[in-house]
């Protein structure tokens, strides 16, 4: 073997070892702790509340922190109107209807949801014309069944067609145990939801339509000379509570979908099947307080920040910056943040090209060995192929890399 060729092989071997070391460098296994770890403290079980099923959800992460029968299908009563609100808000956002639209109150809305019924109503007059934004307030604040039906008919032509829209949005949001048959929550056999699904919906409403969500904290609304108070008693009890909706029928019991904000944290509590009006309010408040007292949310990684720069083969650049496309948030019991661990699963050999945002690997977060969250790792920049000679050189290095692996395997 000539001196030049021996030198080339030797240089390639050295480069290969260095490149392989970079490609297989172990990612950080423990996340940085931005503040001193809180000493371990006992965390009690969640409160035993007056409800047949309930869920406590952290808004930022969507994690279910505690629950009882979260997937039990139950009559949702007027919690149905949270979805009616979501659909109307989505249709407004799409430009298909508008807040200043004038809506004519049909006989169906008047008869099925008006003052002559035993359900909650906005006392809308038959044939009257009402501004859409007033109907929205009447439905959310007064829980008006007539307002809900009128909104449904305006948005979809009929309440049945609107129910189909509701179910389409429910599927889109991942509400797998929900089916709607009407816009008001009137009890019928094929109309049900769960505490978990309503929490999922509530989180989406707050996130997607914050301006419309803000209506749910209005304490009273007057229409046609009749002033009615919001039935969510927690709005008067705790200033941190800003929504969301009450519900009650004989079949459903007393229900409450509540949310509150303290500092940078928001919690959502859904209570279904309480025995009394006071019982549902006490239950939701106890769950919200439990969440704020014993759980905390942390940002583990920031969107767009490189978490690793492994070796890139056959690329215009030698390294590929890898990170997450959105902030990685995790909610844990107070004092357990320092026990979180993160590992990154990245292929040992990355060969160009890559597009920005393309998934490259997986970030896994665990607590005491149990999975907490898995998030895709993506390329943070475009990584095009290198020139001909760059690709040829990397092909030589990769060939030696494969040969050395085979030799190691044969030796074993």
Catalytic option among 143, 184, 216, 274? 143
Q: Is 395 a catalytic residue?
A: no
Interatomic CA distance for residues 192 and 251, integer angstroms: 11
Max Cα separation, the chain?
102
Interatomic CA distance for residues 266 and 47, integer angstroms: 19
End-to-end CA distance of the chain: 28
Q: Is 128 a catalytic residue?
A: no
Pair 327, 302: CB distance under 8 Å: yes
Catalytic option among 78, 106, 184, 193? 78
Catalytic option among 53, 67, 81, 193? 81
| 374 contact partners, CB below 8 Å, separation of at least 6 | 362, 363, 364, 365
Interatomic CA distance for residues 31 and 365, integer angstroms: 9
Nearest to 284 by CA among 256, 252, 246, 245: 256
Angle at 370 between CA 369 and CA 375, to 5 degrees: 110
Interatomic CA distance for residues 103 and 110, integer angstroms: 13
Q: Is 89 a catalytic residue?
A: no
Give catalytic residues, as residue numbers.
Answer: 78, 81, 143
């Amino acid at each position: 073997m000539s001196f030049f060729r021996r030198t080339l092989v030797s240089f390639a071997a050295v480069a290969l070892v260095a490149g392989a070391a970079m490609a297989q460098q172990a990612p950080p296994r423990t996340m940085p702790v931005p503040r001193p770890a809180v000493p371990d403290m006992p965390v009690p079980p969640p409160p035993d509340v007056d409800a047949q099923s309930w869920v406590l959800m952290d808004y930022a992460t969507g994690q279910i922190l505690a629950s009882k029968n979260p997937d039990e299908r139950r009559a949702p009563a007027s919690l149905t109107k949270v979805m009616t609100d979501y659909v109307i808000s989505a249709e407004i956002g799409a430009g298909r209807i508008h807040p200043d639209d004038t809506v004519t109150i049909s006989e169906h809305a008047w008869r099925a949801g008006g003052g002559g019924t035993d359900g909650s109503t906005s006392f809308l007059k038959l044939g009257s014309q009402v501004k859409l934004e007033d109907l929205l307030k009447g439905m959310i604040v007064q829980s008006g069944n007539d307002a809900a039906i009128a909104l449904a008919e305006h948005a979809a032509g009929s309440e049945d067609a609107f129910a189909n829209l509701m179910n389409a949005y429910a599927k889109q949001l991942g509400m797998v145990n929900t089916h709607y048959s009407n816009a008001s929550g009137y009890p019928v056999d094929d109309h049900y939801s769960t505490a978990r699904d309503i929490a999922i919906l509530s989180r989406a409403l707050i996130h997607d339509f914050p301006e419309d969500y803000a209506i749910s904290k209005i304490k009273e609304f007057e229409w046609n000379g009749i002033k009615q108070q919001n039935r969510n008693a927690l709005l008067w009890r705790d200033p941190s509570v800003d929504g969301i909706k009450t519900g009650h029928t004989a079949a459903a019991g007393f229900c409450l979908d509540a949310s509150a904000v303290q500092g940078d944290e928001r919690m959502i509590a859904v209570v279904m099947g309480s025995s009394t009006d006071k019982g549902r309010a006490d239950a939701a408040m106890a769950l919200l307080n439990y969440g704020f007292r014993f759980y905390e949310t942390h940002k583990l990684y920031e969107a767009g920040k490189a978490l690793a720069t492994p070796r890139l083969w056959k690329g215009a650049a030698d390294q590929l910056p890898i990170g997450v496309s959105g902030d990685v948030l995790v909610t844990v019991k107070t004092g357990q943040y320092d026990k979180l661990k993160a590992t990154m699963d990245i292929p040992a050999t990355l060969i160009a090209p890559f597009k920005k945002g393309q998934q490259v690997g997986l970030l896994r977060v665990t607590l005491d060995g149990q999975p907490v969250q898995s998030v895709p790792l993506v390329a943070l920049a475009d990584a095009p192929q290198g020139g001909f000679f760059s690709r040829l050189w990397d092909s030589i290095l990769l060939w030696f890399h494969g040969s050395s692996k085979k030799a190691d395997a044969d030796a074993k």
